[in-house]
Amino acid sequence: MSKRPFLVRVAFSVFLLFTIFTCVCAAQFKVSDNFNRPDGATGLSWSNWGAGAQISSNQLETFGQTSVAGGIARNLDVTFPVSFAFNFSTNAPTDGGWQIAFNAATADGGLLANDTAEIRLLQFRGSGGICTEFQTASGPMDHCGNPKTGQRDFTAIARISGTINPDFSSTVTIRYNDGQMPASVTIKSPAPVGAIQSPLGSIFFFGNSNATFGPHFFDNISLTLK
């Protein structure tokens, strides 16, 4: 069965970027993309960052590069809390991970020193801890948690979902879909100390977090803005 057509429900001033936007309820909006379109350029007003990305077999294929990583971006002002979900798989399990960033001045998912996102979550590999990157009075900082029992590298198409709260604490659930136990793990990250809660820009971007070319794949991404 083919996937349903691209659907977007979004608040904020992004009507030029999305083909459809619909309110889910009085205070909740949803943005989604299933990448179900011809191979080639990502289209639908997405732009590439870092080592880039393309549509391949109805999914988003991204490429890694040392100190660069790669993925796609677009303008999207976000307020918190925000929930997200996407499918992720990689051809390089020992160096295959993801990142998602909000309210950035530039789409740069490489070095921490270049990070302009108000908040960014990333994981360098499935068995590693989740890092929170944020802005402080001294510049961008990060905090990486320890791996939780049951975490493992991505060897199948995983479903990753999470919520970032107004204080930038977060909860991320990873369902590995690899036939091993536990089937999923949930990782909670505390609110980062000293985080400045003021956006430097309005760019939303996501992609891989890796030096390894990969490729690394994403599908069925959604954001729920409350």
Q: What is the mean pLDDT of the chain?
A: 88
Q: How far apart are CA 95 and CA 137, in angstroms?
A: 32
Beta strand segments in 47-97, E? 47-50, 53-56, 59-62, 70-75, 82-90
Residues 126-162 have pLDDT tens digits of 999 999 999 999 999 999 999 999 999 999 999 999 9
State in words which class domain 34-225 has: mainly beta
pLDDT of residue 226: 76
For residue 87, what are the β-bridge partners? 159, 219
pTM: 0.87
As a whole number, mean pLDDT of residues 100-120 equals 88
Confidence at 112, pLDDT banded by 50, 70, 90: confident
